[in-house]
Structure 1
Amino acid sequence: MSQQIKVGSAPTGLTPYVRYIAEWFFWIALIGLYFQQTSHFGDEISNYRFGADGWPRGIALVALLGATFQLVLQLHSLRSGPPSSTVEHVEELPVSKKQWALRFMIFAWPFVFLYLTPRLGAYVSLPLFIVGFLLLLGVRKLKPISLVLLVVYGLTLLIFTRFFFVALPLGNEGTFYDINVAIIEFARLGR
């Protein structure tokens, strides 16, 4: 199997307009499924006016806006045409089985995270997810991995334990439950 890159023209098979709109419909269907699933926990919370499904639906709305904005940018770039300095050139790039496996692992990694989170707890599984995802994306240096982990995990702790105190899963296993509770207590020190 190979990919064709042709500067200034459409990939074979689908026109770019159809491909971009099909991609947008895929994202809308995925977001719609996600939004529909939030109705399973639509309970009221006394001290949070948006309810238990408020922030997941907010994420769905942001994803919808992001997908739509991406579609608008892609259609705008198609209408403006390729830069005048581009040369028509077709280049075959073979995609090896290793590259396909890596692409599949990048796609499947969030599902592994979703599978592990109820068992290990969100505060234990999130660092594993972040580090694993960065490694799958090819980041190998310790400093970038540490900085991304520190920023993303720190913001997650700050937002979900200090500002909103959203009850993320704490894990089913005794040891992981205790570790998650200790992380929450540490993050809420001084409150």
Structure 2
Amino acid sequence: MNIEQMLQQTNAIEAVSRELGVDPATAQAGATALLPSILSGFQNPVGAPEAQAAGAFPGLGGLGGLLGSIGGLGGGNLLDNVTSSEPTEVEKGNQILGQVFGSKDGSRAVAASAAAQSGVEPSLLKKMLPILAMIAAGYVMKQAGQGQGGLGGALGGILGGQPASDSGLASAPRSPAGSGSILDDLIGAAGKYLGR
């Protein structure tokens, strides 16, 4: 699974374009530039409460806390909120970003880097960030809930082949930010978190 496939399957570009009043090409450029950083942030969230994860999913550290928060914000329904014709509840996306990047400064840095890469205005990218965070979070949770995460291989990759109780995610090998397997890793971890 890669980012392009996720964007096509979810109609995310159309939703971002509609929500922000921008043309699809601009929405595509912004999403392509921002999503690798968002997904990498999901793997190692700097602001997610690790204490919440300890009992729920030992070994995942901050990712377990983030998954718990995503579930509390609506889980897979976050994606539906963005792609429906109703206005997007972007505050939910901002809550996710707060856990992923730790502060507004972290989000601004991601937007500035994506602007240099994509040519899209940083102010527009900052508006895209919470929407894309909701799309990515909702997609991961929906796929995990459907058992499509390739759980064995994904968890082996994310935890370095060790049992969850013996390995912290922070020390696990990472997929390169642009690769498709980062999504598979996250879906696999979310599937484990959801008890599949």
Q: TM-score, normalization: structure 1?
A: 0.27
- The structure having more radius of gyration, on CA atoms, is 1
**Structure with greater proportional strand content:** 1
Considering Cα pairs closer than 8 Å and 6+ residues apart, tell me whether 1 or 2 has the greater RCO.
2
Higher helix proportion = 2
**Alignment TM-score, normalising by the size of structure 2:** 0.26
